[in-house]
Structure 1
Amino acid sequence: MSSNIFITGTSKGLGSGFADYYLGKEDKVYGLSRSSADQFGSEDNYQHIQADVSDFDQIKVKVKELLKDVEYLQLVILNAGILGEIKGITDASIDEMKEVMDINLWANKVIIDTLYEMKIKVNQIVVISSGASINGNKGWSGYSISKAAVNMLVKLYAVEYPETHYTALAPGLIDTGMQDYLCDVVDHEAFPSMTRLKEARGTDNMPTPKEAAKRIGDILPALLMTPNGSYEDVRKL
């Protein structure tokens, strides 16, 4: 039996991989992203809407439009996010970090609140976090802070809405376009954690988005057995 799956950030990277994975299982996929997802244009089971996730009013309107006929979602994957610039914490301005927080944290709150406002029953919500949320490596500034806040956001929703299972999930290293910046542009001497990323690129330790989406998708049902609201890392599951 097919399921209704709602995924953000489906135009590229891991979000696109997730959409491809669930469409391959003949599920009905509802995708939301800032740019178009033309790669799924011929898929009857894919419904997409474009929205700027930094525009909270627009997100609310677009989510309501996309899911207007949906009463139940088996799974929601809140994947859309941005990295921001790798720089020292004293060099990162509040405005820069606020932009990252708006997209990585508050946009997710707007989406979740809209689902509850629409009275859509949701079985499972997975918000994509990161190992950066607990590592505290030099240069990750706003990104690490936003993902650490995501972990707590998930925990709070799980306490207040226990009928839905929540997880903040670190997906591991993935070879997306972000790695072009991290591996080839960022100064590795100034920010040593980048060296590990470059060494992992092209190996099994950094799969493609489609490979990563399959690995993660295969284990998402098992997350229902983990504590509601917990932070999990795919590399430890």
Structure 2
Amino acid sequence: MGKTVLVTGASKGIGKAIVEYLCDSGADIKVLGIARSLQDLQDLKSKFGSKFSFLCADITDEVAVGEFLASQLDGIDAVIANAGVLSPVQGVAHADTAQWKSLFDINFFSVVSLVARVLPQLKESKQGDVILVSSGASTKPYYAWGAYGASKAALNHFAQTLAFEEPQVRTVAIAPGVVNTQMQDEIRDRLGPSNMTPEALKRFTDLHEKGELLDPEVPAAVYANLALKGISPDINGKYLRYNDAQLAEYS
């Protein structure tokens, strides 16, 4: 019997690359995608047919997400929580707490809600897996990234909590590195110049100018293989970077 994998933020960047990797893997698999970009989701559906089903909605829309999950006849074997936003990019001195709360709703609370909803199905699976897309910003500060970094640190702790509380489900939080996605475009062109110090922004502009940003397919392969192969017991509950030696079998 094949696997059913749920991917959030499935229409662009790393999420899209994860969907494509899973559907092209040759495995007996069904991929459920949730994202806001209808045309991109429809393109994936046209490409992969019955392997891919989708919901076009905001990940914080609990009613729409709940109805979509309830409509799926197959159980869910793995969740890849990829949806996330960087904005607001603002120093603490100028923090708009309403904007910080909105970010946390997307980056953290939507994940808690989703995982809580599908836990019964994950437990019924031969091995349920929860794969969380974290960030290097969860363990070190970047100027004006306080909201984003804190939300990703919360995800790391959520991985520990799940591993501790739910022995039938395995969980891991993985940072993808600095990836050539729409988020990097926004950092260089809009969010960074107006909100970050020149020194903080330089790291990202240098990586772009030198062609050193990762292709989305690189971390996507790690996330997808964690879902396909299952999270090993020795990394259950951990936070790791995509290229950590402990993830070598998933590269």
TM (norm. structure 1) is 0.88
Cα offsets for 1:98-155 (capped at 9, x unmatched): 0100000000011111102556535211010100011112110110111111111111
TM superposition shift of 1:213: 1.5
Provide the aligned C-alpha RMSD in A: 2.3
Match of 2:202 among 192, 195, 202: 195
TM superposition shift of 1:208: 2.3
| AA at the equivalent of 1:200 | L
Q: Which moved more, 1:155-164 or 1:111-120?
A: 111-120
TM (norm. structure 2) is 0.84
Contact 2:131 2:223 in 1 (8 A): no
Q: Which moved more, 1:131-140 or 1:40-49?
A: 40-49
How many residues align? The count is: 234
C-alpha distance in 2 between matches for 1:180 and 1:136: 20
Q: For 1:1-237, list aligned pairs within 5 A.
A: 2-26=2-26, 27-36=29-38, 37-42=41-46, 43-44=48-49, 45-65=51-71, 68-73=72-77, 75-117=78-120, 120-121=124-125, 122-185=127-190, 186-187=192-193, 190=197, 192-201=199-208, 205-214=212-221, 216-218=223-225, 221=229, 223-237=231-245
Question: Is the alpha carbon distance of 1:69 and 1:191 closer, same or farther for their aligned partners in structure 2, counting shifts above 3 Å?
Answer: farther
TM superposition shift of 1:197: 1.4
C-alpha distance in 1 between matches for 2:91 and 2:136: 18
C-alpha distance in 2 between matches for 1:174 and 1:150: 19
Contact 2:135 2:174 in 1 (8 A): yes
| AA at the equivalent of 2:186 | Y
Gaps of 5+ in 1: none
C-alpha distance in 1 between matches for 2:196 and 2:156: 30
Cα offsets for 1:176-214 (capped at 9, x unmatched): 111111123312871523211121126564222234323
More helix by share: 2
Q: Which moved more, 1:178-187 or 1:135-144?
A: 178-187
Q: Which moved more, 1:219-228 or 1:178-187?
A: 219-228
Structure 1 segments of 4 or more deviating over 3 A? 117-120, 202-205, 215-223
